Chains A and B, each alone.
Chain A
Amino acid sequence: DAKTTQPPSMDCAEGRAANLPCNHSTISGNEYVYWYRQIHSQGPQYIIHGLKNNETNEMASLIITEDRKSSTLILPHATLRDTAVYYCIVRVPPGTASKLTFGTGTRLQVTL
């Protein structure tokens, strides 16, 4: 599995954009980047995923660099409810196990 590196913690003011970086320099060409978050001790929540193009949905935007070695999850207008641990996960190539391998993630604290 491609290893991911994320900062252990970040702060963001409510209403501002939260930009969460992820480094995945050993990613293979057919591996997807997924983002999940876990609010307190709730079940992980799917946010977004992408392969090489930037992606946007109602929750967030995902920006993947052209060389695919890093990505940034953007929460455009963070609220207190976005306080959570955010996990960047590289999915293993097709034909192998479909488990998710979680790292330690980034703890995002949104403050007033």
Chain B
Amino acid sequence: GIQVEQSPPDLILQEGANSTLRCNFSDSVNNLQWFHQNPWGQLINLFYIPSGTKQNGRLSATTVATERYSLLYISSSQTTDSGVYFCAVAWGSGTYKYIFGTGTRLKVLA
């Protein structure tokens, strides 16, 4: 099966700092999404980004499908950005399935 690895596994930032989270995948994928899981377990969809670059406020994401990685940029981090960030890739043929990455646990300090 496909392997989806995220780095770093843990990240601590001071409020206002910038960061880059990485998602590497071992096979070709149909789609890719980034999620933020809040402390209550709810998964918030951040980006649907099978390729290219998108921006939404302080967040942006880039996927280079041919090189099998995606990056999530967080600028001017805030304490509310804390939580776990996951990438998930749609993989397989026919009814493809979504496989989650290992996650990056982010803590932003005031």
- To the question of whether A and B form a pair in one complex, the answer is no
